Chains A and B, each alone.
Chain A
Amino acid sequence: MSLDKQTVARIARLARLKVPEEELQGLAGELSGIMDWIEQLNSVDTSSVEPMNSVADLSLPMRQDKVTEGGHPARVLANAPGGAVYLEPGNPDAGGFFVVPKVVE
């Protein structure tokens, strides 16, 4: 399976990853090498095999749909890049917002 430059550019876009134009060719070569090596799986007959989605041989536990830990707006916002905007300046416990570039005109 060989990946060309256009395919790499397409998956980079899907992954929201900026890849400089001059790196696309090199990446296409590396990724093709990895995919070629992976192709050997095609020689395994898996026609009657259930895919294994988890190694934990357990059914997922259920719990009450209740907030068990919450009410920490200051802690949630503490790492906001460039700082958060708080509803009440000087009082992070009152909550606030992450700031992003404008998405609605």
Chain B
Amino acid sequence: MSKPTDLTIADMTAALAKGAISAVELTEAHLAAMETHRGLNAYITETPARAREMAKASDARRKSGAVGPLEGVPLAIKDLFCTEGVLTTAASHILDGFKPTYESTVSSRLWQAGAVMLGKTNLDEFAMGSSNMTSHYGPVENPWKRRGDNRKLVPGGSSGGSASAVAARIAPGATGTDTGGSIRQPAAFCGLVGMKPTYGRCSRWGIIAFASSLDQAGPITRTVKDSALMLQAMAGHDPKDSTSAPLAVPDFVAACSRSIKGLKIGIPAEYRVDGMAPEIQALWDKGIAMIRDAGAEPVEISLPHTKYALPTYYIVAPAECSSNLARYDGVRFGLRVPGKDLIEMYENTRGAGFGKETRRRILIGTYVLSAGYYDAYYKKAQQVRALIARDFTDAFKKCDAILTPTAPSAAFAMGEKMDDPVTMYLNDVFTVPSSLAGLPGISVPGGLGADGLPLGLQVIGRAYDEETVFAVGAALEKSAGLSLQPEGY
């Protein structure tokens, strides 16, 4: 048997079922590896005591015959999910010391399925960023390095700690959240599989809100099958989230072995953006060849409003963020900075508690929602958003899924793209349109770029059709035949 930390989730469940390893042994192996690779800064809070206790309970359940679908599998949780009694920070100073007295629906479903919590992973503050450089707890390092270049690379964001941990084998899988690409882009940067399900598939209850009409939880894993296994446990209707879909959860794992023969895969002309990096174009062409080899038919489609997706997103997301983050006032939880009166206490607390990018987005959001500007900005953005969603509806009359690159580049070095905010925002050019339309999307490793870094391919599906997304993702994974492991991990 290979090293316990190299096992996929599917391998782990098999090894546990055979009795080849116990949940306690599996957990101990991961806790030891977490300590070795603490330099990556992937975790904000490690929870070894809780992990050991949960692993012991899992082994006891197995003895008694009560085995859940993820029984004994250790997992990492993005520190945007509230976990009962465990520090939950959203990587912000303003949530100093916050220990929720309740558990998010998604994480509690994972524990009900038998999983074990290793800790809480780092992220961009309030999930706002594409590099994990905005965390109050410091940047996260990507375990991958460019060939012959020792500079530290970003893991992407905002679920950067989750992606770094899974790539570095200090968790076999982790939860993420995706508002404009925050699961898919870090998965691409770290050579992993990242799945953002349809808006409404996973409950948002207990996930710290950034932009409520866009936020969705999903898994980051090393294989497509593991992604299906995790999402199977995370998804499902929850009466505590009024936007959660009252639909049965299909068999995602079975969908991974479906044939894609005869499927029509849309290739959107508008994603061939000006100045696209040659290695990204080459990756996309390779992806098209791979789906053709698997028996699917690539078809040209048009998504005419693609270029307006990012500016639309940067009105909608900050507007919702400024409303959601109004709750951080120093009264009920987290940081409080005193002032001479109540208003000054609010202002001092929020001024000290929020980092630069969060402040910027609160200000933009407040501005576009302020009297006299609402129609010109927010209403206009919601109208363009309707056109973007309509583009996808029209495209899906001609195809069953859409194939694009996940990100316009491979992982970049820490400090790059920091000159102005808009340069950083452009990272999400291929992921934001499907977020605005609420559609499911997966990023699967497609190949390595010129400097040896992994690159991701994205598959977008119809609303609530994660099954086709998994089927196409699995076909790409099989055809690419990559075995990705960063050196030294």
User: Which residues from chain A contact B366 at a C-beta distance below 8 Å?
Assistant: 11, 14-15
B1 at the interface (CB under 8 A from A): no
Query: Do the beta carbons of B213 and A54 come within 8 Å of each other?
Result: yes
Query: Do the beta carbons of B347 and A16 come within 8 Å of each other?
Result: yes
CB-contacts of A49-100 with B (<8 A)? 49-58, 60-61, 63, 72, 75-76, 78-82, 98, 100
| Residue on A nearest B439 in the bound complex, by CB | A55
Question: Chain A's nearest CB lies how many Å from the CB of B153?
Answer: 25
Neighbour of B245 across the interface among A39, A40, A52, A56, CB < 8 A: A56
* Complex Cα spacing A50 to B363, Å: 26
Query: Do the beta carbons of B245 and A58 come within 8 Å of each other?
Result: yes
| Residue on B nearest A3 in the bound complex, by CB | B367
0 or 1 for each of B91-104: is its CB under 8 Å from A? (1 = yes): 00000011111100
User: Which residues from chain A contact B385 at a C-beta distance below 8 Å?
Assistant: 51-52
| Residue on B nearest A57 in the bound complex, by CB | B463
Known contacts A16-B350, A60-B242, A79-B97; is A44 also within 8 Å of B387 by CB?
yes
| Residue on B nearest A7 in the bound complex, by CB | B367
Query: Do the beta carbons of A37 and B422 come within 8 Å of each other?
Result: yes
* Complex Cα spacing A103 to B339, Å: 12
Known contacts A50-B383, A55-B389, A58-B245; is A33 also within 8 Å of B420 by CB?
yes
Query: Do the beta carbons of A82 and B343 come within 8 Å of each other?
Result: no
CB-contacts of B302-361 with A (<8 A)? 305, 307-308, 311-312, 314-315, 322, 326, 329-336, 338-343, 345-348, 350-352, 354, 359-360
* Complex Cα spacing A49 to B97, Å: 46
Question: Chain A's nearest CB lies how many Å from the CB of B400?
Answer: 19
Neighbour of A16 across the interface among B346, B352, B370, CB < 8 A: B346
A contact patch SS = loop
Query: Do the beta carbons of A15 and B322 come within 8 Å of each other?
Result: yes
> Which of A52, A61, A101 neighbours the largest number of chain B CB atoms within 10 Å of its CB?
A52
Neighbour of B331 across the interface among A12, A17, A98, CB < 8 A: A98
Known contacts A33-B421, A55-B213, A100-B342; is A18 also within 8 Å of B311 by CB?
no
Known contacts A17-B354, A37-B311, A44-B305; is A81 also within 8 Å of B330 by CB?
yes
CB-contacts of B163-182 with A (<8 A)? none
User: Which residues from chain A contact B340 at a C-beta distance below 8 Å?
Assistant: 101
B60 at the interface (CB under 8 A from A): no
Question: Chain A's nearest CB lies how many Å from the CB of B169?
Answer: 34
Query: Do the beta carbons of B334 and A81 come within 8 Å of each other?
Result: yes
0 or 1 for each of B352-380: is its CB under 8 Å from A? (1 = yes): 10100001101110110010000001011
Question: Chain B's nearest CB lies how many Å from the CB of A8?
Answer: 7
Query: Do the beta carbons of A101 and B341 come within 8 Å of each other?
Result: yes
User: Which residues from chain A contact B331 at a C-beta distance below 8 Å?
Assistant: 81, 98, 100
Query: Do the beta carbons of B422 and A56 come within 8 Å of each other?
Result: no
Neighbour of A101 across the interface among B307, B339, B347, B422, CB < 8 A: B339
User: Which residues from chain B contact A3 at a C-beta distance below 8 Å?
Assistant: 367
B275 at the interface (CB under 8 A from A): no
* Complex Cα spacing A74 to B267, Å: 55
Q: Which 5 A-B pairs have the closest CB atoms?
A: A55-B438, A18-B351, A51-B382, A81-B336, A79-B333
Residues of A that sit less than 8 Å from B by CB:
3, 7-8, 11-20, 27, 30-31, 33-35, 37-42, 44, 46, 49-58, 60-61, 63, 72, 75-76, 78-82, 98, 100-103
Residues of B that sit less than 8 Å from A by CB:
97-102, 199-200, 213, 239, 242-243, 245-246, 305, 307-308, 311-312, 314-315, 322, 326, 329-336, 338-343, 345-348, 350-352, 354, 359-360, 362-364, 366-367, 370, 377, 379-387, 389, 420-422, 436-438, 463
Known: A35-B367, A51-B379, A101-B339. 6 other contacts (CB 8 A): A37-B311, A41-B311, A44-B384, A54-B213, A61-B242, A101-B338
Interchain residue pairs with CB less than 8 A apart (8): A34-B421, A38-B311, A41-B308, A52-B385, A55-B436, A58-B200, A79-B99, A81-B335
